Amino acid sequence: MELRILRYESLPSTNTEALSQARKGAPEGLCVVADEQTEGRGRHGRTWVSAPGAGLYFSAVLRPKLEPRDLPLLTLASAVAVNDVLKELYDISTDIKWPNDLLVEGRKIAGILAETTETEDGTAVVVGIGINLRSSHLPEELASASASVESETGAQGDRDELLERLVRYFFFHCERTATASGRDRVLKEWSARSSYGRGKHVRVDAAGKRIEGITDGIDGHGALIIRTADGTETVQAGDVTALR
């Protein structure tokens, strides 16, 4: 795999640009980075506030040899990478909220958005990662629920150093999903870094259905297992809220 990084001062969305590049034939290893996003987004069309220089806004093209049901593992692998980079560079300990948020004492410091597109060379997956370097730019209603490298360490950190480390960890963990043993390892490492994987009282809103229960691990494809009063539910995708 050849690594190539495209840098922009401003983009509507790094994911949108990476998806466009993938449709034009970009190989695995292409990364898109922007100083700001004017239309940054998260899951379900939510807005990701992306002011100039306030975060690392990063998207990468993958062309994985995975069955469609296994593609969610790439989000879990990405979360492990972000968790480990923040710990190694800044000594920030995060909790991974299934499936795609990283929290510091309940406040969001990073998010992940994986999207697929069909190309002449087969299915491509674009994984977008946003990491808050500072949160002082956020509107009041978001600032209280957000964390940043600056809020946790007193300094924003070196964005180029963060990018270099993230790229290395990201591709390492995502490449592991190509083998059965690697997928098992990713699942174990994700579970070790998340309080949401097992024993958490949660409510999940998924496909118009609301489920409440206790998390009971993740299956081999990255789906969340929940024990409810009526039995067991396996959730492929949804919004999770921790309950007391």
pLDDT digits (tens, 9 = 90+) for 180-212: 999 999 999 999 999 999 999 999 998 788 999
pLDDT digits (tens, 9 = 90+) for 26-74: 999 999 999 998 876 655 455 655 677 789 999 999 999 999 999 999 9
- Rounded to the nearest 10°, the torsion over CA 181, 164, 7, 150 is 110
Position 145 scores a pLDDT of 85
Q: Distance between CA 220 and CA 5 in Å, rounded?
A: 32
Instruction: Please name the residues in contact with 3: beta carbons below 8 A apart, sequence gap of 6 or more.
Output: 29, 31, 167, 171
Position 1 scores a pLDDT of 82
- Enumerate domains of the chain plus CATH numbers: 4-193 (3.30.930.10), 198-242 (2.30.30.100)
- The mean pLDDT of 164-192, rounded to a whole number, is 96
Q: Which of 7-11, 118-122, 205-209 has the lowest mean pLDDT?
A: 205-209
